[in-house]
Structure 1
Amino acid sequence: MKLLIASAAATLCLSACAADLAQGYRSTPDYPAYANARDGHLDAVDCATTLGLMGYAASTANDISRQTGIDIDSGNPNRSDWISGMVMSLVFAIAEMREYTVADACAGAAAADSSANRRQGYLPY
């Protein structure tokens, strides 16, 4: 019950200032990855590629960790990256007054991946 009330309060707060938040997100370094994943050009391929490469990186890191006994970081998004990417996608859906879809979640995953890449020292493009 507490979670339901908290999520309703968070949704109300987000909807009140979604347009301003969306404008602010457009200036973040992860926005180009989000926009590319929502541009309407091969979005499903972008989504499958992003999630597939994350899965492959995690699987490879786990295999190497098991074989060597050394903890290997896959470079995938951490919890903070995922939360920020998903919040970004939710804010854009609310600001554009449309329902949240799988395409939004995929764009959020692309933003999370971009954030993880920056943290690892990789520059976009």
Structure 2
Amino acid sequence: MADKYDLTPQSVFTDLKAGKIVLVDVREPAEFANQRIHGALLHPLSTFEPKAIPADGSRRIVFQCGSGKRSRMALNTFMKETGADAAHLAGGIAAWTSAGQPCIRLDPATGAIVDKGDY
């Protein structure tokens, strides 16, 4: 069920590029190393501490994961514990890449970093 906290890849891309949001990836380090969105900060859900998220009110916090499930959990916890407004990337990095948005990934065959697009 979509609501005002579920953001589309295009809206996240636009706001990230404009410096309006802080994108927080809540996946694990290995997932982040294999594929990530430009500018995302890593803060794994397994060690999640909402008050450690850099929320100063100048930019909206947006959480992101692989499919949207963990980022929604992080969002709910973050808002409950901090009272700050936030959102998440609905569908996660899977939706992001399906929408053709730029990302960085590791080529498993060569170990080379592949930069898919730029800002």
TM-score normalised by length of structure 2: 0.27
Between structure 1 and structure 2, the one with the greater Rg is 1
Question: Greater relative contact order (Cα 8 A, min sep 6): structure 1 or 2?
Answer: 1
TM-score normalised by length of structure 1: 0.26
